[in-house]
Amino acid sequence: MGFLKKYGVSLFCFLVLLGSCEKSRDWELSTLAEPRLVVDAILTNEDTIQEIRLSQSYTELNGVPSPVENAIVSVEANGVVYPFATDLLTPGLYRSQVSFAVVDHLVYNLRVNWEGTSYEASSELASVTPIPPIAFLPFQGTDSLRLADFIPPYTVGQQSMYEITLDWTHLSPVEPNQAKLFFYTFSEVHVSQFVLPSREVIGFPKGSKVSVLKYGLNDEFAVYLRGRAIETDWNSSFFYSTSENPPTNISNGGLGFFSTCSVLRQTVIAE
């Protein structure tokens, strides 16, 4: 009984201490002298037209990035150069002029020339493990469904990003009738994962199309995605904060990341 009393007192003190940690704070946002190049590039092992997105950094809270439309972009591997050209319909999007697939055991080098400055990055293909069985659960006691927790947040030797698209436009013209979710599996656990903020649970009708795109992550790309998740999706700066920019492999002061990933796709009908 004495142990239970001590445990109860300790738990009460911990909760009081945790509640007392909340305080107001005025954030001073650092500004950049001029916009910096931001790269968003994932090349895959699918034989397709590959895409790279370029934008400019911004300093306003909740600002909108400006697209970069006048860059010279190419990717080189084993002496073969793949030029990229601006997509006329989507500013900031660059598409390879020929289709190609990233292959294993080669280093892929990104080169971007923008406003007289050259930026480079390198990446090697990361493998991908099979997609776990896709499962569903009832949504809040209705006839609708939600995704079950079939994606492990932590697995040794398997780092992955899941892009899940939910589509029931063929069942209802009333919006919202689509949704996109991202999940991550890392080989290390960060304390932020134990105190995740509440996340909206998406309900969708039976018969919806559920498409899962799984990316295999190399170690560098996993570090970048985890850092981004900590500061955004996980919203846990109480345990993690940095005055530096997020990790990047872009040279010459560029931001963002260039990576090559093996991918798997699977589409099921939610039943």
Domain covering 37-124: architecture: Sandwich (2.60)
Helix (H) or strand (E) holding 160: strand 160-167
The pLDDT score that the predictor gives to residue 226 is 86
What does the domain layout of the chain look like in residue ranges? 37-124, 136-245+262-269
- Residues in the chain predicted with pLDDT less than 50, given as ranges, are 1-25, 27, 29, 193-194, 236-244
How is 110-151 classified by DSSP, letter by letter?
EEEEETTEEEEEEEEPBP-PPPPPP-EEESTTSS-EEE-S-S
Cα–Cα dist 119/75, whole Å: 12
Do 213 and 221 form a contact (C-beta atoms < 8 A)?
A: no
Q: Return d(Cα 196, Cα 214) in angstroms, integer.
A: 22
Euclidean distance between CA atoms 165 and 141, whole angstroms: 23
DSSP string, 186-240: BSS--GGGGGPPP-PPPPB-TT-EEEEEEEE--HHHHHHHHHHHHHTTS--TTT-
| Cβ proximity of 130 and 152 under 8 Å | no
Confidence (pTM): 0.80
Which among 203, 189, 180 has a CA at the least distance from the CA of 234? 189
Q: Which helix (H) or strand (E) holds 56?
A: strand 51-56
d(CA 205, CA 182) in angstroms, rounded, equals 20
Residue whose token pair is 């295999």: 216
